[in-house]
Amino acid sequence: MVPLLLSILFSLEPVRNVRAFDTPDDGGGSITVTWEIPESDTFITRIEIFRMEGSTEATPELVGYFLRPQTQFVDNTVEDGIPYYYFVRIRSDSVYVDSKITTTPAISKAQWFSGRRLPALIILVLYFGFLMFYIFKAKTGGSLFIRKIAGLEAIDEAVGRSTEMGRPILYILGLGFISDIPTVASLAILKRVSKKAAEYEAEVIVPCFDPIVMVAAQETVKEGYLEAGRPDLYNEGQVFYLTSDQFGYAAGVDGIMLRQRPGAVFLQGLFFAESLILAETGHSIGAIQISGTTAVTQLPFFIAATDYTLIGEEMYAASAYLSKDPLALGTIKGEDIAKMVLVVLILIGTLMETLGIHWLSNFFALF
């Protein structure tokens, strides 16, 4: 016991290079303190950070502590514009030593630009540039080619077949909220489906998971019927709220499938573990099914169980594809060019990493 105590007493050196500075790239109210622990200090049980407000003579105040060796502390209890001084105390049980007090005052302030997000800004500006360029190109009449997407071509066929069988069409928007982009993309497809359905005088049923999405879906279906010139066919009861519980929703939709036997089922949006429960039940009633999602883990289920699947970005392309709006098509072209650039960047990055050059990965790692 005595040799152990002695070794602690002799080896406890104060931490070195204590620095305190305004936390960079933040909204103020924060100072970062860093220090170095001498290698000989192996018995640290506690690290305490003390702060003095205004001058080095002020009474030190304990602002934070660690029970493990750490070399950085972020003090979020400071006020902007006031100079602060810091020192760090390390303890080994009851023995402790203090570091020197920081010589320059640390003053917190808010920044107007987040430097560490510069790479993101560069990418964003470049990408928006591509998109805007192709939007303008489309505006000035350049023709844009978009490949055939089988799942979207099949929409009319599905609606038609369902009508022939005299059955309704079921449209599922998934578990997304209106703030999820797949949900908005799905609404665009819903508009096309309801327009076609109105033309054929078929009924569209849309059970919803979220009330806001329900309201948006009601507007969308109404608009689709209006575009087809049949607003008289629309009734509020077609688009209704079911529940916001995942499996409750799955049970409810399965029930609708088995009782109303829709001829076509659309599963478009954000899906989770209920995806296969819906798709298999849809298959069991013999409906033609068109699915689409950006949830990568659910895609295999949809591909296995439904007739057509929109994979990831194909769903986002749907509204442009269906409306043939040149402006929207322009953004898709821009997206493709950006993807090329990314592929090249990934290849260069892989090559550079293999050769041991790391600046490219470091540049992007900053974000």
Contact call for residue 120 and other proteins (CB under 8 A): yes
Subset of residues 17 to 36 that bind other proteins, contact rule: CB under 8 A: 25-28
Answer whether 302's CB lies under 8 Å from 309's CB. Answer: yes
- List, in order, residues 6 or more apart from 86 with CB less than 8 Å away: 18, 20, 31, 33, 49, 50, 51, 52, 75, 101, 102, 106
Contact call for residue 97 and other proteins (CB under 8 A): no
The correct pick among 55, 244, 350, 361 for binding other proteins (CB under 8 A) is 244
Answer whether 82's CB lies under 8 Å from 107's CB. Answer: yes
Residue 174 in tokens: 């998934």
Subset of residues 184 to 213 that bind other proteins, contact rule: CB under 8 A: 184-185, 187-188, 190-191, 208, 210-212
Half-sphere exposure of residue 126: CA atoms within 13 angstroms, side-chain side: 11
Contact call for residue 250 and other proteins (CB under 8 A): yes
Integer angstrom CA distances of residue 88 from 15, 84, 267? 7, 14, 59
Contact call for residue 345 and other proteins (CB under 8 A): no
Contact call for residue 270 and other proteins (CB under 8 A): no
Stretch of residues binding other proteins (CB under 8 A), selected from 145-153, 156-164, 247-255, 261-269: 247-255
Subset of residues 46 to 65 that bind other proteins, contact rule: CB under 8 A: 64-65
Contact call for residue 110 and other proteins (CB under 8 A): yes
- Whichever of 2 and 365 has its CB closer to other proteins, that residue is 365
Residue 198 in tokens: 């109105």
Contact call for residue 288 and other proteins (CB under 8 A): no
- Whichever of 100 and 339 has its CB closer to other proteins, that residue is 339
Subset of residues 293 to 312 that bind other proteins, contact rule: CB under 8 A: 294, 296-297, 299, 301, 303-305, 311-312
Residue type, 294: T
Strands 288-293 and 31-36: unpaired
Contact call for residue 247 and other proteins (CB under 8 A): yes
Contact call for residue 284 and other proteins (CB under 8 A): yes
Contact call for residue 332 and other proteins (CB under 8 A): yes
Contact call for residue 133 and other proteins (CB under 8 A): no
Report in angstroms how near the CB of residue 57 gets to other proteins at its nearest. 28
Subset of residues 66 to 95 that bind other proteins, contact rule: CB under 8 A: 66-68, 70, 76
Integer angstrom CA distances of residue 323 from 141, 191, 291? 16, 10, 19
Report in angstroms how near the CB of residue 58 gets to other proteins at its nearest. 23
Instruction: Measure CA 315 to chain center.
Output: 17
Q: What are phi and psi of 308, to 5 degrees?
A: -135, 145
Which residue do the tokens 């949900």 mark?
183
Report in angstroms how near the CB of residue 185 gets to other proteins at its nearest. 6
Residue 260 in tokens: 């109303």
Answer whether 89's CB lies under 8 Å from 48's CB. Answer: yes
CA 62 to CA 171: how far, in whole Å? Answer: 60
